[in-house]
Structure 1
């Protein structure tokens, strides 16, 4: 797949996809614009046109993972987990797999 930003999240403590996790994708530079806002499906994937490149331009991006909402705890350790990255070539695909527990996370550019 060429172009786009895809998200896949798994709660590694339970071994389950992060169904219902709210994710926002913002382009923050050169101008702040939200390009996606949605919840992950049963497979832990964000089903949004941004995965095929809609709204993706050159710039700096921030993805916000609303983990506190997912756990439903007002006292949750993790609240909103941000991830910032830069896109220089809009023809490249940026796959962002999030592996997390209630206490921590790992996020990277995948294949």
Structure 2
């Protein structure tokens, strides 16, 4: 079995208000340089993850990236959330320096707060 070397990029969305993964959240990935270029788009599955990495292992390059989470539609319709939801789009900008490492950038979110970190 061949294991692909090099880094990649993945994400995960967790609904901290309900204590469960957030499925059905649209996530866009952009590379930011002289211009902002859309690389891919995906929906989170019932486990709150995308079905495939946003950048496959071995395809990661150094640079600045943005993950854009369209969280408003996810929270719309929950009875405890204002209409429209407080958060609509959450953008996380980060820099990749080590292309040999895997970058996992999860979003832990409630209708009123969010946090993130760099995982592996």
Q: TM-score, normalised by structure 1?
A: 0.87
Please state if 1:71 is matched with 2:71: no
Contact 1:59 1:87 in 2 (8 A): yes
Specify every segment of 5 or more residues in structure 2 that has no aligned partner in the other structure, as ranges: 78-82
- Give the match for residue 102 of structure 2: 93
Compare the two structures and name the one with the higher helix fraction. Answer: 1
1:71 deviates by 1.4
- Equivalent residue for 1:38? 42
Matched residue of 2:101: which SS?
Answer: coil
Structure 1 unaligned segments of length 5 or more: list them: none
**Which SS does the other structure have where 1:69 is aligned?**
helix
C-alpha RMSD over aligned residues: 2.0
CA distance in 2, matches of 1:44, 1:51: 17
Deviation of 1:2 (Å): 4.0
Query: Which range moves more in the overlay, 85-94 or 54-63?
Result: 54-63
**Residues 1:110 and 2:119 are matched in the alignment:** yes
1:84 to 85, 90, 93: 93
Kindly tell me: are residues 48 and 35 of structure 1, through their superposed partners in 2, closer, same or farther at Cα, counting changes over 3 Å?
farther
Instruction: State the distance in 2 between where 1:55 and 1:72 align.
Output: 35
Partner of 2:66: 62
After superposition, give the CA deviation of every residue in 1:63-106 in whole Å (9 maximum; x if it has no partner): 10111121126511001001011112222111012111011101
Q: TM-score, normalised by structure 2?
A: 0.81
